[in-house]
Structure 1
Amino acid sequence: MKSSPFLAPVPFYWCDNCHVPVMGKLCACGGKTRPVSVTPPGDVRPAFDRDRNLVNRLFEEQFGVPLIPDDHIALLNKVPDEDRMEEIILGGAVVCAVRFIPSENRWEVLPRESAAKLVQPTKHIIRVTNEAASYIKDGNSVLMPGVVFVSPEILVGDSVFVMSEEGECVAVGRAKMSYAETVGATRGQLVRTRRTQKAVVDPAPSTWEDAIAANKGVLDLYESKSIEFIRDVISKNPGLKPTVSYSGGKDSLVTLLITLKAVGKLPIIFANTGLEFPETIENVRIVQEKYGLELIERSGKEGFWEGFEANGPPAVDFRWCCKACKLEPVKRLIEETWGEALSLIGQRKYESAKRMMSPRVWRNKNVMCQLSAAPIQHWTAMHDWLYLFREQAPYNPLYELGLDRIGCFMCPSSDIACMKDIEAMYPELWAMWEEKLSGWGNRNGKTPEWASKGLWRVRESAEEDADNDSHF
């Protein structure tokens, strides 16, 4: 498992009175909140219906029951792993994680004891005597003496719940023996338990309207500070044309909404890479029309395919695409239109270590005619979403289809799980990309697996250019 980057303390709490997440130590109800422990970087976000359905399907397949009730707020926290891994937060506690295993093309659920405070699993359970349960609670493995029941579907390596005779979950872990191996056995290690943090679980229902109300003070404060920042940076740069960079993503939409409140309408710049999802193109048009904005668009499509032939596909560690498709077109646009410009950009420090270290106002060496400023640098994804819900803003529907970030459809920074979803949702678009990959690979001595298994996403020998950032 990859290490978890600690980017900054995350203000993530839970109000047990209102049964909602709160981005501060006090809820609007006046009650104190409790901190929720999540794996860094901790950029928690809502679970939309598609996310909830996936988690419920996986949990029911493994443990016999769905996990997320219809009337509960569910949250996701993406954590570092080989591919996609998400912590699932219910009732102010991490109750499990789901992870995608590319080599096996499947998902698995990694349960925590706290999940059993919400549902009673009926599959992949091991029941032990009360005497054994007290021993196991101290972090010890499950040994065959003291075991009174083993689910017949259990195989070696399966995740399991360990329950007492009264039905209390005393541990979770991985089976070291299959059900067949336990028949008649009186000795042996049955489960290697996994230490998980003891957590308080608030089982009461709530709505996003409840969460918005509980976070009113926090949202008002963050909004006012961002408005103050926008007005200040514009006043300090009177010779630069103020603009908003809009990508079709949630961060740039929040930035736009705050800018409208701070200084009114500004031109929005959209760098169309030619590799955008149809929903992104549509969202740009919807936002332009809804708020009556001047849209200035430049295409980077030609630059991408020229770069593709010369360099091959972009990779996580060789992102030549950002410069070719976004930075260069935006540079030409600004030079031709205003000479220089100030761009308000939806950058947040919780997105990556690089953005954590970024100043709030900066110039990219590849676009020196543009002064960039980040009004929401200190916002988390949860601040974003609560604000968008409150403002009833037209966010990109791709977020509801399971995407946690919006960019080019074949961005190498996407995980394999996400790419498989995109392939299923946009078969013609993905077939075109695979044809391009295969053609370039054949001309350059690559194996078929290089294209089909996503090996093109990493160059290994190339170093990422720190200035080729997707924000412009």
Structure 2
Amino acid sequence: MGGLYHGKILLHWCDSCHTPVLSDRCSCESRTRAVQVTPPGDARPAFPDDIEFVNRIYEEQFGMSIIPEGQIALLNKVPDNDRMEEIVVGGAIVGAIRYIPAKGCWEALPRPEAALIEKPKRRFIVIDDGAVMSVKDGRSLLAPGLVFCDPSVREGDEVFMMTRSGICAGVGRAKVDADIAGKMERGQVVKTRKNIPSTYVPGKATWDDAVRANADILAKAEKASGKFIADHIGPYEHLPMSVSYSGGKDSLATLLVVMNTYRKLPILYIDTGLEFPSTEENVRDVQRQYDLMCVRIESRDEFWRDFELSGPPARDNRWCCRTSKLEPLRRHIIESYGEDGELVSFIGQRKYESFSRMKNPRVWRNSYVQNQVCLAPIHTWTALHVWLYIFRENAPFNYLYMHGVDRMGCYMCPASDVGVLEKIKSVHPELWQEWEDAVSIWMEKNGISKSWFESGKWRTRGDGAA
């Protein structure tokens, strides 16, 4: 699993506090150890629903849980065809999960360290002592090295390869069914998957413990963001200002930083009519808790007007952003401040989010909204910085994060992975039904097969559907 570096991977682990730390030293003064996650390394907390979801996948496939009760866990999104996330527990990468759109299911990809947490009860193989070093070196398991194959193993399954003494020597993908494996005298039984070894140190901790462990790092990050504002706001001090607020974690952290290091400003929220109900609630909660003015831009009609002409937006044809957000914002600035008026917006953009955002400057003007000056105070923060800061401030965040959805915005955004859209369907079936009905009507008018939507091809316009 390769990945692009968007910046230095900062994730470390304190074995004294049993928490993630974003530096080589914990606030408890202990040295930490690096966690070798796949870049870009923008790991996030695993919330209770995430933990239940991951454990259910591993229970179904291996008869085991992979995240013990009371231990902090992280999920690190890695490059793949769709959604794939590494699972970090006890400072070790103990496995991953990935969504397979063609099968409509999630697959568990364990690492040997997972067997230190709990032994697999299904999909495991016992190997001969003479094959242990070969498997540990990354070579495939051949038939002479097989002692026992769990009857549930099927060709293509991920399996644990256990020693006679119950230690995991490696993991890999079965090349044959269990009944065939038991009869083989030669040939490949399991193709071993090479993994970078990591150290698992069990220990219970809470996210409050993690905030304390990162206290110095958070203070430093806040100070640096405040300095960025102080260094760059001068030429724009005379202009009206706001914090662009989406109901997501990054805009919330940006709001907190601006309030803590600069001053209280209004929040600017664009209501496209496509947001989650929890987003609307969060906007009200934040406005009420911090006694903020909310500048609300309504753009509910624009999307459906252009939808009739263009069909659903796609990853390579995101007309929706300009229609539902940029144009209403540009129009609002002109109506509020005049043809030559300008607005300063603090925006929760981070370089660890994507390669394109990594390359973006921290002060810029959108090519379409030239009358908006944008500043990104938390550009260098990771997702873990953001979450720990929110936890430190005890700020009200969008509760949809607690249900395994890690990306706020429009509920049917084509930039979302299919695996994420499936989660959204389960959390908000009524919203997805509304979207499916609208797309079905448009497809019927344009003579497009239902399979185009059902297969997820609507998310990419390159298929020639429109």
Shorter-chain TM-score category?
over 0.9
Which segments of 5 or more consecutive residues in structure 2 lack a partner in the other structure? none
Instruction: Specify the SS of the correspondent of 1:165.
Output: coil
The answer as to 2:210 corresponding to 1:208 is no
Instruction: Specify the SS of the correspondent of 1:403.
Output: coil
Letter in structure 2 aligned against 1:329: P
Letter in structure 2 aligned against 1:324: T
Instruction: Specify the SS of the correspondent of 2:408.
Output: coil
Which digits, 9 at most, give the CA deviation of each residue in 1:7-49, with x for residues without a partner? 1112111111211110011111112111111111111000011
Equivalent in the alignment of 2:87 = 88
Equivalent in the alignment of 2:451 = 449
Task: Choose the corresponding residue for 2:365, options 360, 363, 372.
Answer: 363
Letter in structure 1 aligned against 2:377: P
Equivalent in the alignment of 2:396 = 394
Equivalent in the alignment of 1:256 = 255
Aligned residues: 461
Write the distance in 2 (CA, Å) between the matches of 1:424 and 1:138.
42
Equivalent in the alignment of 2:31 = 32
Letter in structure 2 aligned against 1:242: M
Per-residue deviation, 1:96: 0.5
Write the distance in 2 (CA, Å) between the matches of 1:349 and 1:183.
51
What aligned pairs does 1:389-468 form with structure 2 within 5 A after superposition?
389-460=391-462
Conservation of the 8 A alpha-carbon contact between 1:245 and 1:343: yes
Equivalent in the alignment of 1:268 = 267
Instruction: Specify the SS of the correspondent of 1:162.
Output: strand
Write the distance in 2 (CA, Å) between the matches of 1:427 and 1:166.
48
Moved more, 371-380 or 126-135: 126-135
Moved more, 181-190 or 121-130: 181-190
The runs of at least 4 consecutive aligned structure 1 residues that moved more than 6 Å come to: none
Conservation of the 8 A alpha-carbon contact between 2:241 and 2:344: yes
Write the distance in 2 (CA, Å) between the matches of 1:275 and 1:361.
28
Instruction: Specify the SS of the correspondent of 2:80.
Output: coil
Instruction: Specify the SS of the correspondent of 1:460.
Output: helix
Equivalent in the alignment of 2:243 = 244
Instruction: Specify the SS of the correspondent of 1:145.
Output: helix
Write the distance in 1 (CA, Å) between the matches of 2:188 and 2:411.
47
Which digits, 9 at most, give the CA deviation of each residue in 1:61-100, with x for residues without a partner? 1111111111100100111212111111111111111011
Instruction: Specify the SS of the correspondent of 2:462.
Output: coil
Per-residue deviation, 1:130: 1.4
Equivalent in the alignment of 1:186 = 185
Equivalent in the alignment of 1:373 = 375
Instruction: Specify the SS of the correspondent of 2:170.
Output: strand
Equivalent in the alignment of 1:468 = none
Q: TM-score, normalised by structure 1?
A: 0.95
Conservation of the 8 A alpha-carbon contact between 1:279 and 1:396: yes
Conservation of the 8 A alpha-carbon contact between 1:240 and 1:341: yes
Which digits, 9 at most, give the CA deviation of each residue in 1:223-248, with x for residues without a partner? 01111222333333123112111110
Per-residue deviation, 1:461: 7.1
Instruction: Specify the SS of the correspondent of 1:81.
Output: coil
Conservation of the 8 A alpha-carbon contact between 2:160 and 2:168: yes
Per-residue deviation, 1:352: 0.9
Letter in structure 1 aligned against 2:331: R
Q: TM-score, normalised by structure 2?
A: 0.96
Instruction: Specify the SS of the correspondent of 1:38.
Output: coil
Moved more, 249-258 or 423-432: 423-432
Write the distance in 2 (CA, Å) between the matches of 1:73 and 1:359.
34
Write the distance in 2 (CA, Å) between the matches of 1:183 and 1:233.
69
- Name the Cα RMSD after superposition: 1.4
Letter in structure 1 aligned against 2:354: S
Write the distance in 2 (CA, Å) between the matches of 1:375 and 1:134.
50
Equivalent in the alignment of 1:143 = 142
Write the distance in 1 (CA, Å) between the matches of 2:265 and 2:119.
54
Equivalent in the alignment of 2:117 = 118
Letter in structure 1 aligned against 2:225: S
Equivalent in the alignment of 2:226 = 227
Conservation of the 8 A alpha-carbon contact between 1:271 and 1:298: yes
Conservation of the 8 A alpha-carbon contact between 2:149 and 2:182: no
Per-residue deviation, 1:436: 1.1
Equivalent in the alignment of 1:469 = none
Write the distance in 2 (CA, Å) between the matches of 1:344 and 1:183.
63
Conservation of the 8 A alpha-carbon contact between 1:234 and 1:242: no
Per-residue deviation, 1:427: 2.1
Equivalent in the alignment of 1:74 = 73
Equivalent in the alignment of 1:19 = 18
Letter in structure 2 aligned against 1:433: W
Conservation of the 8 A alpha-carbon contact between 1:276 and 1:407: yes
Residues 1:241 and 1:221: Cα distance change in structure 2 (over 3 Å) = same
Residues 1:304 and 1:191: Cα distance change in structure 2 (over 3 Å) = same
Instruction: Specify the SS of the correspondent of 1:149.
Output: strand
Write the distance in 1 (CA, Å) between the matches of 2:145 and 2:80.
35
Write the distance in 2 (CA, Å) between the matches of 1:425 and 1:140.
43
Equivalent in the alignment of 2:106 = 107
Letter in structure 1 aligned against 2:348: G
Residues 1:461 and 1:342: Cα distance change in structure 2 (over 3 Å) = farther
Per-residue deviation, 1:425: 2.2
Equivalent in the alignment of 1:315 = 314
Letter in structure 2 aligned against 1:342: V
Letter in structure 1 aligned against 2:407: R
Per-residue deviation, 1:185: 3.0
